[in-house]
Amino acid sequence: MKDWNLLEQITGVLLSWGAGAGLATVVSHLLALLVLGGVAYAADLACRHVVLKAVAKVVRHTKAKWDDVVFDHKVMVRLSHMVMPVVIYVFIPSVFADSTLWAVDFVQRICFVFIVLAFLSFAHAFLNAVYSIYSDRESFRNRPLKSMLQTFQVVIWFVGGIVILSEVIDKDPVSLLAGLGASAAVLMLVFKDSIMGFVSGIQLSANEMLKVGDWIKMPKYDADGIVTEVTLNTVKVRNWDNTVTTIPPYALVSDSFQNWNAMRESGGRRIKRSVNIDMTSVRFCTPEMLERFRKISLLRDYIDGKENDLKEYNQSHGIDDSVKVNGRRQTNLGVFRAYLTAYLHSLPVTNPDLHCMVRHLQPTDKGIPVELYFFSTVKEWVPFEGIQADVFDHVLAVIPEFGLRVFQSPSGADVREAVGSGTVDS
């Protein structure tokens, strides 16, 4: 039985109506294309308005979440774009006669290109949906999913481009890829940043150096803030001033940066700050001073215990303590350090399991620095700064109670006051 051919049927009808052979051929081609286009468009409408709506109803009634994510990313919509070119590609040989094989080949090539583009778009959306599903899972948050996603997308689009090019120029894709092997050096140069970014992303994840949500500081790139995104070519950092710094992933592997996430996961955030004491205000404690210090609740036990220890030491060594420089005595600065140590331990925000001490630093021409070194259990930035400020407000306020003075360079007001009081020669 002879194959049915739409083009021949339309041409026969036109000839029977008295049309010329040339006119009948042209009109029959146009009508055949219109009929096939109408069928393809009807199939596309049926797929989008019937099939996809039915699938959407099924998805809404399922308990699973992944199908909602897939549908929200329009994965099925991208897949439905293949219906029209597939219908034309399949049925175009039945529309045209054998004498117009060149037209069939031309239309099929165009349809094939659209089919590949639709498939690439579907694969792109599907990978985005997979990323959305797994990026919300706790076990995958430390993985370089974004860079892996972009790598797969680049590979898919690259392969798809090769397939489309091979179809357009009528070459075997395998031979075309083999021919591109000679230009591998050029391709590696073009995709250098992407390749290095992908490798660096794996290194960052494998060594647990960085992940989204970490607070990092990298002065070389003026970065000091929270990591918001790790992609194939960039790591985005939202700084504390709300600016965004982009850093190449390989720079984080090759250069040094500071990650504050370990502090967040630890038991406390360190406070390390010093205040300069005027060395001329340091002196031995008199009995009157010790009696006044005993009234401070945090120092009562310390003063009594320390005095007993010093008295026993001086007596056991036969030291005449009537002279101040003989033996061991308490100083106002030593008592002040003891007070600060007790004060820090009394704070509810101090972590007792971590280092807590008050120490002297190297004296300078600006006095002797007394440093407070301890860890706060409160690690959030704003309340942490408030705690640190409260502690040093208290420290500065109690210094005069121990007969000490804070050292600071004289200001203009100090100079004017000294000149006005006549203490400075004119």
Tell me the Ramachandran region of residue 223: left when phi exceeds 0, alpha when psi lies from -120 to 50, beta otherwise: beta
State how far the Cα of 216 lies from the Cα of 197, in Å rounded to an integer. 18
Q: Is 316 helix (H, G, I), strand (E, B) or coil?
A: helix
Residue 371: partners with Cβ closer than 8 Å, 6 or more residues away: 272, 273, 274, 358, 359, 360, 361
Q: Is 24 helix (H, G, I), strand (E, B) or coil?
A: helix
Phi, psi of 190 (to 5 degrees): -65, -40
| The two three-digit tokens of residue 165, written as one number | 């090019």
Domains of the chain, start order: 6-136 (no CATH), 142-147+171-265 (2.30.30.60), 269-283+331-413 (3.30.70.100)
In the prediction, which pLDDT does 414 show?
66
| The two three-digit tokens of residue 1, written as one number | 């039985």
Q: Split the chain (426 residues) into runs of 10 and give each run's mean pLDDT.
A: 52 59 59 75 80 73 65 72 81 64 76 86 81 68 64 77 78 67 62 70 70 87 88 84 88 84 84 93 91 92 89 82 79 94 94 92 92 93 92 95 89 71 55
Residue 353: partners with Cβ closer than 8 Å, 6 or more residues away: 267
- Asked if residues 118 and 81 have their Cβ atoms less than 8 Å apart, the reply is yes
State how far the Cα of 131 lies from the Cα of 135, in Å rounded to an integer. 6
In the prediction, which pLDDT does 263 show?
82
State how far the Cα of 106 lies from the Cα of 90, in Å rounded to an integer. 13
Q: Are β-strands 269-277 and 223-230 bridged in parallel, bridged antiparallel, or unpaired?
A: unpaired
| DSSP 8-state assignment for residue 224 | E
| H or E segment to which residue 223 belongs | strand 223-230
